[in-house]
Every structure is written in structure tokens, then in C-alpha cells.
Amino acid sequence: MKYDAVIIGSGFGGLCSAYILAKEGMSVCVLEKNRQVGGSLQIYSREKSIFDTGVHYLGGLDEGQNLNRYFQYFNLMKELNLQKLDKDGFDIISFSGDEKNYPHAQGYDNFIEKLAEIFPHQRDALKLYIEKIKEVCAAFPIFNLSDEKKEISGAWFMEIDSKTYINSIFSDKKLQQVIGGSNMLYAGVEGKTPFYVHALVVNSYIESSYRCIDGSSQIARIMSANIKKLGGEILNYSEASKFHFNGNEIESVELTNGEKIEGKLFISGIELSKTIDLVEGQQLRAAYKNRIRGLENTIASFLVNVVMKPDSFPHLNYNLYHCTQPDIWTAPNYTKDTWPEAIGMFGTTTSKNPKFTENFTAMAYMRFDECEKWANTKNIIPNNINYRGEGYEEFKIEKAEKILDVLASRVPNLRANIQSYTTASPITYRDYIGSKDGTLYGVIKDYKEPMKSFITPRTKISNLLLTGQSLNLHGIMGVTISAVVTCGEILGNSYLINKIKTNLKN
């Protein structure tokens, strides 16, 4: 069978693309190298406790908000099992040596009010900050389901980095750190990450914040079922190895098992450099290939996934971002002695026992080169290699204990209630998610070189398009937008936006 569209990778961007095209009557096939679909939506279980691997909470899901409207189009909202996080502090920012907890509250006015209670002299600055966040979001029409054309190149929020702009608004140095305290959401880099990235990411969480009850894989499961209802196919254990061409057009993609999948259009949602590697001939210019391969990814992460003793730890209806250094923007540039400089702690909500936190994930930045000595090992289903090599387990235990020591100094009774834990390093994520260096957020956006990381969905190969987190923005909202932009190249942008709007009215 020759499909109208073959989609490589079942991350959320790939699933969204498949749904959109299948809904328009196209025959669609999604290829996934792993057993589970969903990319960062995948889950795993330890001691009958479910862990999210990448998506720990969602924003903008209240009625009428941006992600809610897109999720309604994808027929997700009716079936999702969600827990709304604490409206007065969905994120808590804390610092070593400071006993106070600083809340990020839901709702624009509430966000201002809760921080103004602690920083009354900064109330006007908080109002200005929210106004600027709204201004940035309004400049990206597609985030608001609009096909209006707006020119953003040269806009002020494209030409200043997040730290510099935040510090220009707030005179209070502690509040500067509090506002940027959740920058692990987008791996913010001092002197690089444009303010628009900060604004687009934090805005949806300020609007509303939710956690998936019993894990985020429900999103991928529902999407997969919806795609199949529309006639689409999803093939697991199907890893693409290379494209076959007829002239300048792709004729088929060959899988690692030698099978060939034919298609009219091909959409790649896997890492950009891995997509380029599928093109073995001269259909893409060497300069383009070198540019893609030379893009710098955001820093990777080290995770500790902790199972708590039964009924021992009260339910945490918020996320904790803890900073061990005075400047929250220095965390990616840690040294051996200062690591970890920032930790994100994300609890879970279970339907069986909602009064207690069954488990949590603690995340800290980690450069891939720390795992370089084990980089030639792989641990991938179905070619599963369980042993990485000498010293790897000891390395992970050492890092995990450091993270838990920091959290235990901040969170009462944490150590006493831990039952067990497992870990994930940058090479775990490299193998599990499919990124070349374990990055969770794709390509770094640099305000000084905006065009360097600007990748269009269209390629020089007429029937190959790109989607995913490195095109526009990472995260569920970012890859949703990427999928809409990519499919808009096929169907027409205005046509697709209007179809989504019409769907919401019916």
C-alpha cells in the first residue's frame, strides 16, 4: 500500500500531524521505533507506580484557552483525566538559605496578587510583566487559533534575552530570580534564550495548570485511538533507516528490518539531525546538512524517579523548583562542585490514592559529556542491553544521592519516606526518546542569531516536511503548533485554522 502521508516518529507532533491529515481524508501511517507511542508522553512503571518520562504538567487547558481549543479539535478533552494544580501556587520557587516559598499562581490577577503580597513595592512591575507576557502571546496569532499575518522579525521580544528583560522590569533582585525560577521548563540560557520563549511557555501555565492523573501517556493513547478511528495506521517497532528516492522525491522509507513503506508525502517528527541522516544521497545540499548537524541542542537532564512508602507522603498539588545558587540562570553552567544548582520536583496524582504522593520525579541539568564514556552503549527495546559498563551504576547513584540530599534539606520528612528510586541519565533519554545527546527541549534559540535556529517545515525535497519541537517551540503547546504549521503547508494555513475553529463550534 502507498500511503498519502508517512509520519516518522510518534511524538505528540507526529500524532497531531497524523490526526489532522487523517481527519482530512488522507491515508496515514505513523512509524514508531519503540513499543510505546508518544515520545516524551511515554510512561514506565516501577513497583506498580507509574512515572511520566517528560510531560509532568500542562498549561492553558481551561475552557477557551489556547491548548484547550486545540485539544478539543483533537477530541482529547472529553476523555482526559486531569487534576488542576493549586491555584495559589502551581509552581513553588525556593532557594537554599531562604526559608520562604515563592508562588507562581494561576490567573493573571492572582499571579500578580500572590507575589505582590511578598513584594508589595513591585506590584506595578508585576502588572507590567503580565502586560508584556500578553503582548508577546498576541504577536503569535497561531497560538490563539488565528490565521492573521504578523511580522515578528525585529520585534523587541525577539531581540533581548529573557534574563536581561526580566531584570529590566523588576528592581528587586530576589523577585528577578523568582520570576525566572521555573526556567527549567525551557532550559533557559543566560544571554541566549529570547524573551518570547519565556513568555510563550510560562503564559499558558499562568492561565491554568493541570497534571494528568495516572500519567501523561493517556494523551498518546487517546490520540492513537482517534487516529485509528479515522483510518490511520500506527506501526510500532518500526525504526526508519533511510529514504529511497525517485529523482528528487522520496518514494519510500526503509525500516531497520528491511521493510519499505511507500508514501506520497513524508513528515519527520524525529530529531532534525537524524532526519538528515535518512537522506544518503545528494538531494539535500551539504551546506544545509552541515547547518542542521551543527545546531546546538539545549542541555540534557538527569532524573531521579522516587517511589514513596505507601500512605506516607501527603499529596503535593504543585511543582517545586529549588535553586542552590543565588542566580537561577547559572544552573546549566554548573561545575562538579556546584552541581546540582537547580532541581525541579514533580509529584504525581493517582486515581487510586489521591490523598498521597505515590511517587515524584526530581530533575537536574546534566551535560551529555558527563556520560561520554558510556555513550557507545545502547539500551533500546527490542534490542535491549541492560549493562552500560563499569562505573555507570555507581555514577548514577552518586548523582541521585546528591539531588535527594538537596531536596531533603528543603522538603520535611522526604528521606524517611522514600521506598526506592531509579534514575535516568542523558544517555537514557538519548536511547528512550531518540535525541542524539539526551536533550529534552531540542535546538537552542539564541536571540543574537534568530535565523540560525529558524527551521521551516518545507525542505528542498519536495515531499519531505518537518515537524516537532525544534521548529517552533518545545512542549505540548509548542509541538501542537508545529504540527498545525506543518499540515498548513499541505492543506493551506487559513483552510486548516478555519476547519479547527469550525470544529469547535459544532
Asked which of 420, 440, 460 is the last residue of a domain, the reply is: 440
- Is residue 235 within a helix (H) or strand (E), and if so which, with residue range? strand 233-235
Q: Which amino acid is at 50?
A: I
The per-residue pLDDT for 492 is 95
Total Cβ atoms within 10 A of residue 356: 19
Cell of 222: 487517546
**Residues 184, 474: Cα–Cα separation, whole Å:** 12
More confident position, 151 or 317: 317
Q: What is the DSSP string of 405-451?
A: HHHHTTSTTTGGGEEEEEEE-HHHHHHHH--TT--SS-BPP-TTSTT
Instruction: Let me know whether 329 and 267 are in one domain.
Output: no
pLDDT band of residue 144 (cuts 50, 70, 90) is confident
C-alpha radius of gyration, the chain, whole number: 22
Residue whose C-alpha is closest to residue 468's, from 52, 9, 36, 22: 9
Q: Average pLDDT for residues 481-506, to the nearest whole number?
A: 91
Binned at pLDDT 50, 70 and 90, residue 363 comes out as very high
Q: In which band, very low, low, confident or very high, does the pLDDT at 443 lie, cut at 50, 70 and 90? A: confident
Is pLDDT of 386 > 80?
no
If one counts the domains in the chain, the total is: 3
- Which residue would you say has higher pLDDT here, 39 or 419? 419
Q: Quick one: pLDDT band at residue 382, thresholds 50, 70, 90?
A: low
Domain interval for residue 13: 2-44+53-81+216-295+450-505
Query: Which of 405, 440, 475 is the last residue in one of the domains?
Result: 440
Least confident window among 1-5, 37-41, 174-178: 37-41
Provide mean pLDDT across the span 373-387: 71
Residue 387 lies in a domain: yes
- CA dist list (Å): 410 to 100, 107, 358, 404, 466: 10, 27, 19, 10, 43
Instruction: Indicate whether 313 and 381 sit together in one domain.
Output: yes
**Residues β-bridged to residue 91:** 104, 319
Express each pLDDT in 100-123 by its tens digit: 999 999 999 999 999 999 999 999
Q: Are residues 486 and 421 in the same domain?
A: no
Beta strands in 256-406 (DSSP E): 260-268, 300-308, 319-323, 342-347, 359-366
pLDDT value at 55 more than 60: yes
pTM of the model: 0.95
In this predicted structure, what is the pLDDT of residue 380? 64
Residues 435 and 392 in one domain: yes
* pLDDT for position 64: 93
> Are 321 and 430 contained in the same domain?
yes
In this structure, the answer to whether residues 280 and 315 fall within a common structural domain is: no
Residue 100 lies in a domain: no
| pLDDT of 421 above 80 | yes
CA distance 315 to 373: 39
Quick one: what percent of the chain has pLDDT higher than 90?
Answer: 77
The confidence score (pLDDT) of residue 165 equals 98
Residue 452 scores a pLDDT above 90: no
Whether residue 84 is predicted with pLDDT greater than 60 in this model: the reply is yes
The rounded mean pLDDT for the chain is 93
Residue 67 has pLDDT above 90, yes or no: yes
pLDDT higher than threshold 80 for residue 506: no
Q: Is residue 99 part of a domain?
A: no
H or E element: which one contains 279? none
Amino acid at the residue 454: F
Say what the pLDDT of residue 381 is: 57
pLDDT of residue 180: 97
Amino acid at 477: M
pLDDT digits (tens, 9 = 90+) for 242-291: 999 999 999 999 999 999 999 999 999 999 999 999 999 899 999 988 98
pLDDT at 415 over 70: yes
Residue 90 lies in a domain: no
Please give the average per-residue pLDDT across 443-465, as a whole number: 89
411 and 334, same structural domain?
yes
- Position 484 in a domain: yes
308/427 same-domain check? yes
pLDDT of 449:
87
My answer on whether 354 and 422 are in the same domain is yes
Q: Do 399 and 474 have their domain in common?
A: no
Render pLDDT for 324-352 as a digit per residue (tens, 0 to 9). Answer: 999 999 999 999 999 999 999 999 999 99
What CATH number does the domain containing 248 carry?
3.50.50.60
Is 218 in contact with 41 (CB distance < 8 Å)? no
Residues 332 and 380 both lie in one domain: yes
Residue 385 has pLDDT above 60, yes or no: no
Q: So what's the pLDDT on residue 244? A: 97
| DSSP secondary structure of 293-318 | HTPPBPPEEEEEEEEEPTT-SB---S
Q: Are residues 316 and 432 in the same domain?
A: yes
Query: Which stretch of 281-285, 459-463, 487-491 has the lowest confidence by average pLDDT?
Result: 281-285
Tell whether 89 is covered by a domain: no
| DSSP per residue, 103-117 | EE-SSHHHHHHHHHH
Helix ranges (H only) for 180-241 are: 195-207, 217-229
Q: Minimum mean pLDDT among 66-80, 169-183, 382-396, 416-430: which range?
A: 382-396
Give the pairing type, strands 260-268 and 2-8: parallel
pLDDT in tens, 200-226: 999 999 999 999 999 999 999 999 999
**Residue 90 has which C-alpha cell?**
502551581
